[in-house]
Each structure stands twice: as structure tokens, then as C-alpha cells.
Amino acid sequence: MSGIVSYDLFVERIGSGAIGFTPEGGIYGSFINNTGTSLKGTVVAISSSLPNAVDIAPAGSVTPVGIIYESGIPNGSPVKIVIYGKAEVLLENSQASSLGYWCGVSTTQAGRMIQLSTVPITEQLNNRIGYSLQSVSGGTDVLSLVQLHFA
């Protein structure tokens, strides 16, 4: 066998341990969920109350570390957090997504992202999570693909 290996075969051979790959092109790590029941696309920060755990990133957070990969994981259980590569991220409700825009932690909604057409030159730059890879219409709980690049 040479050359290309399918994603499914790769995952089967590597297993689903503490790290892994997503079909979207992300790398995830396993953390303890301290967000309540998980919601895919939520921006998270390291928990200040539990070891090896994540909390929902507060509005305006300058310490985002990843994006929840799967919905429905109960509080206190292991959850996959995309920490590098590509991830689907929850937009602020009613905000649209535009290809190539700068993405950062929302300043008004915890665990959500905002997008700006230009890179901020203020302290808001520290809220960066990456750059938009797709355009989508606004709504409620809308996901948009992002190339992660934390500040």
C-alpha cells in the first residue's frame, strides 16, 4: 500500500485516544467538559476550577484555547476540543460569516465568535481565534468553518 490513506482507515488505525483528527481538518485534544451539556462550535478556555477541563470562554476573553467538536456531551465527561487546524465555530446570533474575515471571541456573547473585515489594531487583537474559510447567512446557532490561529 502506498500513497493516500482514507480518513476512516487512518482513524481506525490510530484509534480515538486523547488526541485525534477531524474530517474537517482539525486536530483535537480530550478535555473534561465543564460547560454544561456541550454544544458543537462553542469557543472554550481552560477551566480555573477543574484540572484538564474547559469552560465556555467568557465574552471578550483573551484566553481561548479551542472549539468544542461535539454536541451533547454531559458536564464532567471527556469532550473533544479542536485546538489546531480547521473547526466549525458558532457565530454570534444574527451575524453572518464572510470568507477571509478575521475571527475573534465575541465581546457580547460567551462562547461565540465575531468576524471583522479588517484585523483590529487594538487590544481586541488578543481575542483572535483565526480566519473565516466560508460565507454563511446569519441566524441562531450558525456554524462557520474557521482556520484556527489563536493569538
**pLDDT computed for residue 120 by the predictor:** 83
Q: How confident is the model over 78-102, as pLDDT tens digits?
A: 999 999 999 999 999 999 999 999 9
Domain range list for the chain: 7-148
Hey, how many other C-beta atoms are within 10 angstroms of the C-beta on 60? 15
Q: How confident is the model over 93-128, as pLDDT tens digits?
A: 999 999 999 999 999 999 999 999 988 887 777 889
Over residues 131-135, the mean pLDDT reads 98
Model confidence at 10, in pLDDT bands (50, 70, 90)? low
Q: How confident is the model over 43-68, as pLDDT tens digits?
A: 999 999 999 999 999 999 999 999 99
Rounded Cα distance, 94 and 82, in Å: 24
What number does CATH give the domain 7-148? 2.40.300.10
What the block records as the C-alpha cell of 149 is 490561529
pTM of the model: 0.88
Q: What are the residues whose beta carbons fall under 8 Å from the beta carbon of 59, sequence distance 6 or more?
A: 105, 106, 107, 108, 109, 110
pLDDT at residue 145 above 70? yes
Distances (CA, A) of 13 to 4, 6, 18, 24, 69: 14, 11, 14, 18, 21
